[in-house]
Amino acid sequence: MSDIKKVVLAYSGGLDTSVILKWLQDTYQAEVVTFTADLGQGEELEPARAKAKAAGVKDIYIDDLREEFVRDFVFPMFRANTIYEGEYLLGTSIARPLISKRLIEIAQETKADAISHGATGKGNDQVRFELGAYALNPSIKIIAPWREWDLLSREKLMAYAEKNGIEVDMKHKQGGSPYSMDANLLHISYEGRHLEDPAAEAEESMWRWTVSPEAAPNEAEYLDIEFKQGDIVALNGQAMKAHEILAELNRLGGKHGIGRLDLVENRYVGMKARGCYETPGGTIMMKAHRGIESITLDREVAHLKDELMPRYASLIYNGYWWSPERVALQTLIDHTQSHVNGWVRVKLYKGNVSVVGRDSKTDSLFDPNIATFEDDAGAYDHQDAEGFIKLNALRMRIAAKVRPIKK
């Protein structure tokens, strides 16, 4: 007899978690509490409530976490200009620590014995969910069905669902096994189906948020983005909340075909995996943030951030958001943002976002009197460069006398 009487399940109402709900009830004979996070995935969440209720769930949590998600997780990550392996903006990764946090809180509120999730044993999310949970409650029990059951394919899951009368949203008009999808305000991801062949191009019908660049408007659109201490606070002069800003950037980016990515990434568990992503708002945010930093950050501070960013990105990708080293890095990153204030103008056109203007009335380090190619009235003494160059060349000049470079 299991000592687990109550389990909090991270529940979307999709194929995997709908099957897990029934499986937990049957396998553990436990009461299941469902938790559905509204992270701005753009889907109606009440059907999840209805499905959970139909499955006999008494405690159903559907929490609007959009503002907290963008303000406390997405924005801090973007202050670091975070990109994993040169391309991925970490849309799935950054949502997991918040979900873990809320799972632990609900477990405490409901006096549950364990938490459960739908991440597979091959993926990164099992690591992210569980590292976060253990960091917040080191004694928590975790049930990971994909590491226990024999339903190890989409086809087996669908057969189980059919046998038990579980409704499944195919999420694909052509039928067959659905894509494995994850969506929140930062991105939507797609895995599975023919994407498992890295040589196969993604179907155009798969994309949900963005038009193809070919179908995007033939006229460019300009957007003014205002920053305060590294975070976006207004678009075209209109102040908005964090989640409203990202939602609007998604709309504009999607309209212009911005933010599509087809990626083969290195998972933490060791394998390579192919996925496709739509991150329209995040793509605009990244370009704009680097634009405002270009005039407000000291050169060496900017370069230090760029050196640290891959390590910071790996920490988030691998699930170490709540680790002491990530917190320490965040403290440094946030310190660098105290003078990242001003505005950036971007141009959106046919899948591209370009910075075309930037300014900061209070914190710009760009001095036109020094940078000009015209007469600078003595602001910069060209003769100073001679000694600077000779001193920097000194070690190479000494070495050249001893060990001439072979041509």
Residues annotated as catalytic (active site), given as ranges: 16, 96, 125, 180
Under 8 Å between Cβ of 47 and 54: no
3-state secondary structure of 42: coil
Under 8 Å between Cβ of 282 and 318: no
Taking each helix axis from N to C end, the angle separating 96-110 and 125-136, rounded to the nearest 10 degrees, works out to 50
Closest CA to 140 of 121, 120, 115: 115
Two tokens at 277? Answer: 């992503």
Measured between alpha carbons, how far is 67 from 23 in angstroms, rounded to an integer? 33
Two tokens at 373? Answer: 């190619």
Closest CA to 224 of 82, 89, 355: 355
3-state secondary structure of 363: coil
Q: Which residues neighbour 301 within 8 Å (Cβ) at sequence distance 6 or greater?
A: 336
Measured between alpha carbons, how far is 211 from 255 in angstroms, rounded to an integer? 6
Closest CA to 298 of 327, 337, 330: 337
Measured between alpha carbons, how far is 122 from 101 in angstroms, rounded to an integer? 23
Under 8 Å between Cβ of 283 and 351: no
Measured between alpha carbons, how far is 103 from 97 in angstroms, rounded to an integer? 10
Two tokens at 141? Answer: 């029990």
